[in-house]
Structure 1
Amino acid sequence: MESHIYYLFILAIPVACIAWTVTKEEIFREAREFCVDRSKHGERLVKRKFFYVFTCEYCFSHYVTIIILLITNYTLLYQDWRGYIISFFSIVWIANVYMSLYNIIRIDLKKEKIRVAKEESELHAD
């Protein structure tokens, strides 16, 4: 049982990494902007919701988790379909905790960079 919990925290790492990268990082900016436009201006509800998935790290993490579960056959608590459902929501939840922590760290780093730049500009102004 302990190894199942260990795998839960490990499998959430690639889910968080992929979901964050696709929905937030610069490398996917153009594709994300296209999806944002389609999610706001699509003719049909289904089309708008489909494109919205690629703009929301929480939503996208569900689909990444499905792929991870298909690849790994990971189950939690039960070895049947119930184990897949429990592992699905558990991985999504842990992955989103990871992404939240990462976001907090990034904000703190940005604040620190701004503070240092301000102090340096004040020193050069004197």
Structure 2
Amino acid sequence: MYNPFVTLFILAIPVACIAWTVTHEEVFKEIREFCVKNSHEQKTLAGRKFFYLFTCEYCFSHYVTIFMLIITGYKLIYADWRGYFIAGFSLVWIANIYMSLYGLLRTDIKVEKTEATMKEKLLENQD
């Protein structure tokens, strides 16, 4: 059988990937913009919060985690409902660490690309 703590770090990868993709990437841009608009304009608190869930990677990762726990049956430490509870919050926590690191990495890459483009333009202007 697999080590449950290794499994935790592996299962957090698809949770982070799905949550990041839905809340940040271009492929879901129109849906996300619709949700942002409705998260501000809905008349009820429940309506605003429902649409907000699809714009926040932390919030959305809870729902992806619940789905992941249902399809895998993964539990941590305890074999009963407490195992699901602990596994759920552990997966969310690790997935959000992954997303934070990925966000920092993407920011660094964008800065480097921008600096390289600026340097190229300066060199072209000097010629």
1:92 maps to: 92
Q: Classify the secondary structure of the residue corresponding to 1:110.
A: helix
* 1:34 paired residue number: 34
Deviations 1:86-126 (A, max 9, x none): 00000000000000000000000000001100110010000
Q: How does 1:7-86 map to 2 (within 5 A)?
A: 7-86=7-86
Q: Which aligned pairs between 1:96-111 and structure 2 lie closer than 5 A?
A: 96-111=96-111
Following superposition, the deviation at residue 68 of structure 1 comes to 0.1
RMSD: 1.0
CA distance in 1: counterparts of 2:51 and 2:70, whole angstroms: 23
Q: TM-score, normalised by structure 2?
A: 0.97
* Offset from partner CA, 1:37-89 (integer Å, 9 cap, x none): 00000011100000000000000000000000000000000000111000000
Please give the TM-score of this superposition, normalised by the length of structure 1.
Answer: 0.98
Q: What percentage of residue pairs aligned between the two structures are identical?
A: 61
Deviations 1:1-53 (A, max 9, x none): 97100000000000000000000000000000000000000011100000000
The runs of 4+ residues in structure 1 deviating greater than 6 Å are none
Q: Secondary structure at the match of 1:54?
A: coil
Runs of at least 5 residues in structure 1 that lack an aligned partner in the other structure:
none
Rounded to whole Å, the distance in 1 between the matches of 2:118 and 2:50 is 43
Classify the secondary structure of the residue corresponding to 1:75.
coil
Query: 1:77 corresponds to which letter in structure 2?
Result: I
Consecutive unaligned residues in structure 2, runs of 5 or more: none
SS of 2:54's equivalent in the other structure is helix
Alignment coverage as a number of residue pairs: 126
